[in-house]
Structure 1
Amino acid sequence: MQIEHQNTKHGGVFYIERDQARIAEITYQQRDAQTMIADHTWVDPLLRGKGLARQLLDALVSFAREKHLKIIPQCSYVDVIFRRDPSLADVDASIL
């Protein structure tokens, strides 16, 4: 499945569509020039458990790395994955 990115007024969204309907998304807000806030992750209930949320998070992390940004894991899903996966520590703004 292809992940798309769309800028919004204060941040952006990475999403996956199927049959012209959004089936999963992760949104972020730009806090400042160095930090973004991952504030929401959603996957269609019929597709949960298939790894879509992680694919979206990986896209967000790649974007943050490319832009040299840190991520505040405000979304509970992102927070849990950041705690479980030490390979994401380089973009985790909650690590001081």
Structure 2
Amino acid sequence: MEIKHQSDGRKGSFYLGESSNPKAEMVYVMAGPAKLIIEHTEVDESLRGEGVGIKLLEALVEDARARNIKVLPLCPFAKANLEKRPDLQDVLNG
């Protein structure tokens, strides 16, 4: 499972599949130079139950750590999973 990342500097996504038609994606928008907001996560029905959403979240957190960016999860999926995973909470904003 290869998670890819695309960004134009203001908004971006972590996704699986083709960027023009992803099978799964976690979309974010930058809220300044050191903070991003996770807007939504979408996983194709054919991939449900395979942990794809979690893999997208883990990739986003890894990238946020590498760039020293804080994360604000407005997406209910991301928010719920970050609350369950203390190992990922170091990137949370405030």
TM-score (norm 1): 0.89
Is there any run of 5+ residues in structure 2 with no aligned partner, and where? none
1:15 and 2:24 equivalent? no
Shift of 1:46: 2.0
- Residue type matched to 2:27 in 1? T
1:62 and 2:24 equivalent? no
**What SS does structure 1 have at the residue aligned with 2:49?**
coil
Give every structure 1 segment of 4 or more consecutive aligned residues whose post-TM-superposition deviation is greater than 3 Å.
none
Please, what is the CA RMSD of the aligned residues? 1.6
CA distance in 1, matches of 2:76, 2:12: 18
Shift of 1:3: 1.0
Please list, as runs of the form range in 1=range in 2, the aligned pairs for 1:63-78 lying within 5 A after superposition.
63-78=63-78
Shift of 1:10: 2.1
TM-score (norm 2): 0.91
**What SS does structure 1 have at the residue aligned with 2:46?**
helix
Please list, as runs of the form range in 1=range in 2, the aligned pairs for 1:1-96 lying within 5 A after superposition.
1-8=1-8, 10-17=10-17, 21-93=21-93, 96=94
Is there any run of 5+ residues in structure 1 with no aligned partner, and where? none
CA distance in 2, matches of 1:14, 1:72: 16
- Residue type matched to 2:39 in 1? D
- Percent identity, please: 35
1:47-93 per-residue CA deviation (whole Å, 9 max, x = no partner) reads 11100001111110001000000100100001001111111121011
